Amino acid sequence: MSDNGIDNVIESGLEQREGNAIRDAFWLDDDIAYLNHGSYGAVPRRVSTAADAWRMRMERQPVLFFQETLPGALRDAAAALAPFLGIAADDMVFVENATSGANAVLRSLRLGPGDTIVGTDHGYGAVRNAARHVAAAAGAALVEAKLPFPGTTPDAVVRAIDAAIDGRTRLVVVDHVTSPTALVLPVAEIAALCRRRGVPLLVDGAHAPGMLDLDIAAVGADWYVGNPHKWLFAARGCAVLWASPDARGDLHPTVVSHGYGGGYLAEFDWTGTRDCSPYLAVDAALDFYRSLGPARLRARNIALAAEGARIVASAWGTEVLTPPGMAGSMALVTLPFDVDATREAARAVRTRIWHEHRVEVPVMAFGGRCHVRVSAQIYNEPADYRRLARIFAR
Ligand SMILES: Cc1ncc(COP(=O)(O)O)c(C=O)c1O
């Protein structure tokens, strides 16, 4: 962190605790090393309390809540969140999770036989499945660009996607931060490519809100989905689907309900009776995030993920596979022993690490090897990575 950054923190009286010292702001068990913020986030106590308060309010008079309070409260929550993401509130809707937002876009496509959806081999499994499903139903296909890995560079990513697009391509879908490999992809450059090639782009930014300095509108995509319930500390079940004004005509939620035909906001804001408290409590998540100093927090987490990965890789005699120029607050380190590069084998290693050592870290099978993907969030400190490093130290 720059000296200037520290001055700003002191002057504005921001929360300065971190590592073990801030663990009491979360519900996490005391004795564990939690190195997987990436999968499901970890909700601060004050954010769950705010969501609980909304739930209680709903129960005091459900009809009043759903018919009179909720519509305005939902839009107020969008208005609080949107500027944080570089977008206008009327251009975003809440969805339960990134998978659901990506499904809405994919299932709204009008594909024909022979058409293609272009993705990458680093895409998130659930979204790949959704793309395969809509493609199969139309006689179309998912084509996956193979990104060079390891040794990935932003230019090579753009070139690989360019090579996969042809006259049959109806959509490109890429992750902003890849799940199996923790790479931050050059989404603005990919968007520029897609515009040149005349193909719409869906960015799956599940990890980006809170991890990166995010300006969704500036990316230049057609649709963008993100999960405030990961790195922005929102209560679980809080995701965002942004659609550019030109990309809404045919866009519908996966659940079509009363709002059908009423336009983007009407269709997505009501998809049936549901618990919207994770959306409504988003201001509590934003307050918590702000209290940590957003720029300082992001820089700290990115630096700690890199440092943590170095600690682990040097103890194991293996490599950090996340190149510094494409890294966020997660990093991939190869395991120091041979194990089948299958999902089942990877799961078995994760289970062993957790049950024998109380260290939670995801194990990813990718590129013929298994790797751990370490995360860094405000409650982590170097000791957490040393604890993981010791398990297989050489
Ligand atoms: C790139 C990517 N997309 C989508 C998801 C799914 O998020 P959710 O379970 O909130 O739908 C994840 C989860 O880690 C992810 O990494």
Alpha carbon distance 321, 318 (integer Å): 9
Q: Judge whether 212 and 298 are in contact, CB under 8 Å.
A: yes
Q: Judge whether 282 and 80 are in contact, CB under 8 Å.
A: yes
pLDDT at 104: 98
- Please check whether residues 92 and 72 belong to one and the same domain: yes
- Please check whether residues 261 and 327 belong to one and the same domain: no
Rounded to an integer, the average pLDDT of 180-194 is: 98
- Please check whether residues 217 and 257 belong to one and the same domain: yes
- Please check whether residues 29 and 82 belong to one and the same domain: no
Number of domains in the chain: 2
Burial 368-391 (b: 16+ CB within 10 A, else e): ebbbbbbbbbbbbbeebbebbbeb
Give the domain extent around 175.
50-287
Q: pLDDT of 208-227, one tens digit each?
A: 999 999 999 999 999 999 99
359 DSSP β-pair partners: 33
Alpha carbon distance 223, 101 (integer Å): 9
- Please check whether residues 16 and 157 belong to one and the same domain: no
327 DSSP β-pair partners: 183
Query: Strand, helix or coil at 312?
Result: helix
Q: pLDDT of 86-137, one tens digit each?
A: 999 999 999 999 999 999 999 999 999 999 999 999 999 999 999 999 999 9
Q: How far is CA 258 from CA 75, 77, 262, in A?
A: 17, 21, 9
- Please check whether residues 326 and 379 belong to one and the same domain: yes
Query: Strand, helix or coil at 41?
Result: coil
pLDDT at 9: 47
Domain boundary among 254, 287, 320: 287
**Distance from residue 44's CA to the centre of ligand 1 (Å):** 20
**CATH number of 117's domain:** 3.40.640.10
- Please check whether residues 185 and 64 belong to one and the same domain: yes
Which of 36, 202, 227, 364 best tests ligand 1's pocket when mutated (most atoms within 8 Å of CB)?
Answer: 227
Question: Confidence band (pLDDT; 50, 70, 90) for 12?
Answer: low
- Please check whether residues 102 and 65 belong to one and the same domain: yes
pLDDT at 13: 63
Question: Confidence band (pLDDT; 50, 70, 90) for 271?
Answer: very high
Domain boundary among 269, 287, 305: 287
Average pLDDT score over the chain:
96
**Distance from residue 124's CA to the centre of ligand 1 (Å):** 7
Residue 92 has a CB neighbour count (10 Å cut-off) of 23
- Please check whether residues 380 and 297 belong to one and the same domain: yes
Asked if residue 10 has pLDDT above 90, the reply is no
- Please check whether residues 279 and 321 belong to one and the same domain: no
pLDDT at 198: 98
Q: Dihedral sign, CA of 192, 195, 196, 201? A: positive
Which of 99, 231, 330 best tests ligand 1's pocket when mutated (most atoms within 8 Å of CB)?
Answer: 99
**Distance from residue 207's CA to the centre of ligand 1 (Å):** 7
Q: Is the CB of 350 under 6 A from ligand 1?
A: no
**CATH number of 305's domain:** 3.90.1150.10
- Please check whether residues 93 and 221 belong to one and the same domain: yes
